[in-house]
Amino acid sequence: MIRSRTLILILLMLATTACGDETIVATAAGSTLSVDDLATLLEAGEVIGPGSRSATLEMANLWVDYTLLATAMSEDPTLTHLDMEPVVDQLVEQQMVAEFRTTRLQLDTVLTGAELQAAYDRDGQESEVRIHHLVRTWPAGASPAQREAVRALVRALRERIVEGESFGDIAQEFSQDEYAPLGGDTGYFPRGQMIDLVDQAAFALPTGELSQPIESAAGVHLIRVEGRRTPSLSVFRERLQAQRLAAALGQYVVTLEAMASPEASADAFDIIREIAADPRTTLEGIPDDRSIVEYRDGTLTVAEARRFLHARTGRIRAQLAAAGEDDLRGRVLRPMLQGKLLRAAAESEGVSVPATRRESLAAEAREELADAAQQLGLVDFDSAGVGSDPTEAVIGLLRTIAVGDREVLPLGIHSYVLSQAYSGGVNADGLEATARRIGAMRDAR
What does the alpha-carbon distance between residue 204 and residue 55 come to, in Å, rounded to a whole number? 36
pLDDT in tens, 47-71: 444 445 667 888 888 999 999 999 9
Weakest mean pLDDT among 242-251, 267-276, 327-336 = 242-251
pLDDT for 65: 93
Q: Check whether 422 has a pLDDT greater than 60.
A: yes
pLDDT for 370: 95
pLDDT for 435: 80
Q: What percent of the chain has pLDDT over 70?
A: 88
pLDDT for 437: 82
Residue 55 near residue 44, CB atoms below 8 Å = no
- How would residue 108 be classed by pLDDT, with cut points 50, 70 and 90? low
Which of 3-17, 240-254, 297-311 has the highest average model confidence (pLDDT)?
A: 297-311
pLDDT for 441: 75
pLDDT in tens, 115-132: 888 888 777 666 789 999
**Radius of gyration for the chain, computed over Cα atoms and rounded to the nearest angstrom:** 24
Which of 44-58, 155-169, 181-195, 276-290 has the highest average model confidence (pLDDT)?
A: 155-169
Q: How confident is the model over 419-426, as a mean pLDDT?
A: 89
What does the alpha-carbon distance between residue 445 and residue 443 come to, in Å, rounded to a whole number? 6
Domains (ranges, CATH) in the chain?
12-73+380-443 (no CATH), 126-229 (3.10.50.40)
Q: Check whether 257 has a pLDDT greater than 70.
A: yes
Q: Check whether 77 has a pLDDT greater than 70.
A: yes
Tell me the HSE value of 426 on the side-chain side, using a 13 A CA sphere: 29
Sheet with 185-189, side-by-side order of all strands? 185-189, 128-137, 219-229, 214-215
258-281: b (≥16 Cβ within 10 Å) or e: eebebebeebbbbbbbbbbbbbbb
SS (H, E, C) the chain: CCCCHHHHHHHCCCCCECCCCCCEEEEECCEEEEHHHHHHHHHCCCCCCCCCHHHHHHHHHHHHHHHHHHHHHHHCCCCCCCCCHHHHHHHHHHHHHHHHHHHHCCCCCCCCHHHHHHHHHHHHCCCEEEEEEEEEECCCCCCHHHHHHHHHHHHHHHHHHHCCCCHHHHHHHHCCCCCHHHCCEEEEECCCCCCHHHHHHHHHCCCCCECCCEECCCEEEEEEEEEEECCCHHHHHHHHHHHHHHHHHHHHHHHHHHHHCCEECCCHHHHHHHHHHCCCCCCCCCCCCCEEEEECCEEEEHHHHHHHHHCCCHHHHHHHHCCCHHHHHHHHHHHHHHHHHHHHHHHHCCCCCCHHHHHHHHHHHHHHHHHHHHHHCCCCCCCCCCCCCCHHHHHHHHHHHHCCCCCCCCCCHHHHHHHHHCCEEEEHHHHHHHHHHHHHHHHCC
pLDDT for 4: 38
Residue 424 near residue 42, CB atoms below 8 Å = no
Geometric angle at alpha carbon 161, from 155 and 165, rounded to 5°:
140
Q: How confident is the model over 258-286, as a mean pLDDT?
A: 91
Q: Check whether 387 has a pLDDT greater than 70.
A: no
Q: Check whether 389 has a pLDDT greater than 70.
A: no
Residue 79 near residue 378, CB atoms below 8 Å = no
Q: How confident is the model over 407-415, as a mean pLDDT?
A: 88
Q: What pTM did the predictor assign?
A: 0.69
Residue type, 345: A
pLDDT for 109: 66
